[in-house]
Amino acid sequence: MSGINPSEELAALKSSKLHRQLRTVDSNSGTRISIAGEELWNFSSNDYLGLASHPKITGAFIEGIQRYGAGSTASRLVIGTSSPHTLLEETIACSKQSEAALTFTSGFATALSAIPTIVGKGDFVFLDKLSHASLIDASRASGATLRVFPHNDHLELDRLLKRARQRSTSRILVATESVFSMDGDLCPLEEILEVCETHGAELLLDEAHAIGVLGKKGMGLAEQLGVQSRVHFQMGTLSKAIGLSGGYLAASREWVDLITNRARAFIYTTAPPPAIAHAARAAFELIRSEDGSDLRERLFRNIAILRANHPSAILPIILGDNETALATSESLREKGFLIPAIRFPTVPKGTARLRLTISALHTEEIVREISDLLPSGI
């Protein structure tokens, strides 16, 4: 009998130290987390500003449920679009300096909706080698010719785009991330924009780990560099620094209208609960306020304790093999700190690591304590 044998597949995962299990979290408030009755300092969350437990955001969520109910009851194009969805999209468009915006159930759904609408058979997608799985899967689903360029290598991207343009006048989409989720480094955005503009390519920038964290108003790397108007498609999530769940795409009004009418992952999905949209709008307002600026200052003070001049809240500690990463993670857990081991296929083989994330809510004392416990060379 052919096909997948679950027992064999699971045995292979376990023998190579790649088997994973779901963690059931009993409580997660700020920087403390409880798992199976064990209280730990949480250095594994994407809640970079602590908004998931912020009283203004939780209050807005409760208010949204009281005003609009617990669920949306239908897809967006039927009766699932409530006023909070529309107001949130207007807020995102204004914040990202774009004509329009559209929200989705997740960041993954955003990519699966946007990319196959933007490009198709006969077109090209160029992806950074370390792009998130959602960008990779969406590019494959589009039917466009997929090409991968070395991580953050804008010179090689220039060479590849030049070659593609010599052979074709089809649409070219370049997709990359502001902050790479497993390495915490930034893309060379200005250089990539120049390459795209030279060769008539369009850029999709995923700001998932930059929104809320970078920029004077917390709107990401494009805002920080003053280039929002030059980025064709600004994508992001509501599930990291925003503190909730969902995704968004900011683009021209025509592209947003076309995605609304063509994207299967958008059309055939029940709309997110309006209460989430109501709370997300409150989160955008907070992030853009002085309170948001104060949270970012606290966040980067904490980051500087661990690694001077590091540009993001993600600090990888690359250990190489799976066994070492798992053992180091477990050792830190025994000391009261939760920092997960990240392994293939999330990161390339031979680069297993701890992925340490910092929050504005961490105290300087606890950051210094974890700094003393980490392997040297962080």
Burial per residue of 76-105, b for 16 or more beta-carbon CB atoms within 10 angstroms, e otherwise:
beeebbbebbeebbebbbebbbbebbbbbb
C-alpha–C-alpha distance, residues 218 and 121, integer Å: 36
Structure-block tokens of residue 196: 């795209």
* Catalytic site includes residue 129: no
* Catalytic site includes residue 85: no
Q: List Cα–Cα distances, 309 to 102, 119, 189, in angstroms.
A: 34, 37, 18
Structure-block tokens of residue 149: 């360029």
* Catalytic site includes residue 121: no
Of the residues 54, 85, 96, 240, which is catalytic?
Answer: 240
Say if residues 174 and 139 touch (Cβ distance below 8 Å): no
Of the residues 47, 89, 206, 207, which is catalytic?
Answer: 206
In the chain, how many H helices and how many E strands? 14, 14
* Catalytic site includes residue 240: yes
Of the residues 96, 199, 209, 362, which is catalytic?
Answer: 209
C-alpha–C-alpha distance, residues 114 and 256, integer Å: 9
DSSP sequence for 120-163 = -TT-EEEEETT--HHHHHHHHHHTSEEEEE-TT-HHHHHHHHHH
Say if residues 339 and 44 touch (Cβ distance below 8 Å): yes
Of the residues 72, 95, 131, 181, which is catalytic?
Answer: 181
Of the residues 132, 232, 278, 362, which is catalytic?
Answer: 132
Of the residues 42, 44, 46, 98, which is catalytic?
Answer: 46
Using DSSP's 3-state secondary structure scheme, residue 41 falls into: strand
* Catalytic site includes residue 232: no
* Catalytic site includes residue 46: yes
Say if residues 198 and 180 touch (Cβ distance below 8 Å): no
Of the residues 89, 177, 183, 223, which is catalytic?
Answer: 177
Residue 58, C-beta contacts closer than 8 angstroms, at least 6 positions apart = 279
Using DSSP's 3-state secondary structure scheme, residue 97 falls into: coil
Kindly state the DSSP code that residue 88 receives in the 8-state scheme.
H
Q: In what helix (H) or strand (E) does residue 104 lie, and over which residues does it extend?
A: strand 100-104
Catalytic residue numbers, as ranges: 46, 132, 177, 181, 206, 209, 240
